[in-house]
Amino acid sequence: MNNASLAKQKQINLRMQNHQAGRRHRIIFWIFFIVLAIGFFYVIRQPAFRVQNISVSGSGLVEAKDVKEYVSKKITGYKYFLIPRDSLVFLKKQNLINDIFQEFPRLSSITVQKGKKLNIVISEPIFKNLYCTLDPDSGFPGGCVLMHENGKAGSIAPRYSYAPLFSFYSSGINPILGTVVVHPNEIIRVRTLEAEVVSYGMPVYGYIYGQGYDEILLDTGESFLLLPRIRILSGTKPEEIKKTLGVAVEDIAVKKLLLERLDELEYVDLRFDGQVVYKRR
């Protein structure tokens, strides 16, 4: 065998040795990885790394025991047959909070403290806004929900004959709990309009979204359809109210009608380029 053949054979042998060494390294790596994975899943299944108890506190109409039962079911069992749902390693606080909000839309805040004892604190808002759909035939409110300040429908509302909350009305289907029914910026705009009108001594009951124009409902204690209204263009701003209604109430006769004989008023219309048109019953 000449020198060239010997050199070639050595290269072949070296490649085979490298291949076998690489194969041994891969086998060792996978054995190590499998042992490590088995050890990891074994450890996270141990009680020290899992939720052992759930505590829910808070006051309101949402019962703490109902939230506790929901969370308990939520973190029972396994993901992908391997990962315990109550594992402290894989339990994500924000995901759990989002799930609770979705299940209990009445809640306004939720805090979760992770640990072997899962501490959950819930709270409900003092609702200030009501949202109702209007029956297209009768004009009366249909389904109503209590609305959070962020515009989300929080809870089915009782059917008041005379609602003590500021009320938003529009046509359409009944709102779904947990969804935004009025944009929070729109709530701010309308409540600012309310404050402007109230500053003239006219109590406000609610706001109606219409197709051609919107209406501010004035509060006279009458039934819904008999409440006097201020007709305005959609998107009206407080300064536009000030330039029309604010100027109009400076007239003694108009002010007397609006403040002292409000129950005789059918509507005030502010849509005509700064002019104020009103109609008595």
- pLDDT, mean of residues 125-147: 85
The answer on pLDDT for 160 being more than 60 is no
d(CA 197, CA 203): 7
- pLDDT, mean of residues 8-37: 71
Question: Which is more confident, 162 or 274?
Answer: 274
Q: Which CATH number fits domain 129-280: 3.30.420.240, 3.40.50.970, 3.40.50.11690, 1.20.140.10?
A: 3.40.50.11690
Q: Which of 242, 278, 240, 241 is nearest to 262 (CA)?
A: 278
pLDDT for 7 equals: 61
Cβ–Cβ < 8 Å for 231, 265: no
Burial of 75-92, coded b for 16+ CB within 10 Å and e otherwise, reads beeeeeeeebebbbeebe
Q: Which CATH number fits domain 47-123: 3.90.1170.50, 2.60.40.10, 3.10.20.310, 3.30.750.24?
A: 3.10.20.310
- Read off the pLDDT of residues 52-103 as tens digits, 9 standing for 90 and up: 899 999 888 899 999 999 999 999 988 877 788 888 888 899 999 999 999 9
Interstrand relation of 53-57 and 229-232 (parallel, antiparallel or unpaired) = unpaired
- Read off the pLDDT of residues 203-261 as tens digits, 9 standing for 90 and up: 999 999 988 899 999 998 888 888 999 999 999 999 999 888 888 888 887 788 777 78
Instruction: Tell me the average pLDDT of the chain.
Output: 85
- Please report, for the chain, the start and end positions of each structural domain, with discontinuous segments joined by +: 1-37, 47-123, 129-280
